[in-house]
Amino acid sequence: MNISLKDKKALVGGSSGGIGKAIATQLAESGASVTLMARNEAKMKAIIADLPCSEGQKHQYLKVDFSDYSNYKTIITTYFKEHTVDILVNNTQGPTAGGALEKNVQDYQNAFDLLFKSVVFTTQLALKHMQNNKWGRIINVASISVKEPLNYLALSNSIRAAVVTWGKSLSIDVAKDRITVNSVLTGYFDTDRIAQLNAKKAEKLGISIDEVRGTMENNVPAKRIGLPEEYGFLVAFLASDRAAYINGTNIPIDGGLLKSL
């Protein structure tokens, strides 16, 4: 099956590394012109230098900090005054780890601004062109924790669940315009984020990071942690015409980790 995104323009959040970088790379390899969004300008420049351009793609980057919602809002508004996108991948860095008893109301507000308000605002800006063009793909990077909460990720559990239910609601309203909205529920992937969480867990439990990772791998039926490029394959498919009838879904990519249906 050939997946072609030639002449499509994609905006990918959190794309200076990990899952976001893998998504951006696969979209570019499928023919899309990609705009990276992240905080690290040097990393984004290096990634763009390596992205394929064989289909005449023009890649660029946008330096943003999702944790500063007010500034982010200004930057992304300016971007959409001059640009349109066909494919929007809503992905940001995760909020700080910690259980429900460790977090206060302001922590939840900060996570709401980071994970929810930035997603909704960016999507609203992107939708105008998609609706006029009668084609669009909105893909939300979420987490398996919206189905089976992880008690050490209380902020992420709570706010990503809101993103997923919002995405489902939006998918109903825009389907008539040939726009799909889907959420990907992320399991364990070999990224810096997982390494940071494992380090914190190891310190809290008084065990080695290798032990934490080994337990994580053993809990996955596939007995391994996912590769970021595997994530990119799924997103490229969802962004293509091949997935035109997949809408309003929450798709786990977790090696079979989720026990629920």
Sort residue 95 into left (φ over 0), alpha (ψ -120 to 50) or beta: beta
| Catalytic, out of 69, 72, 152, 188 | 152
Which residue type occupies 143? S
Measure Cα distances from 137 to 2, 148, 220, 243, 246 in Å.
Answer: 18, 26, 30, 10, 10
Verify whether residue 61 is a known catalytic residue: no
| Active-site residue set | 152
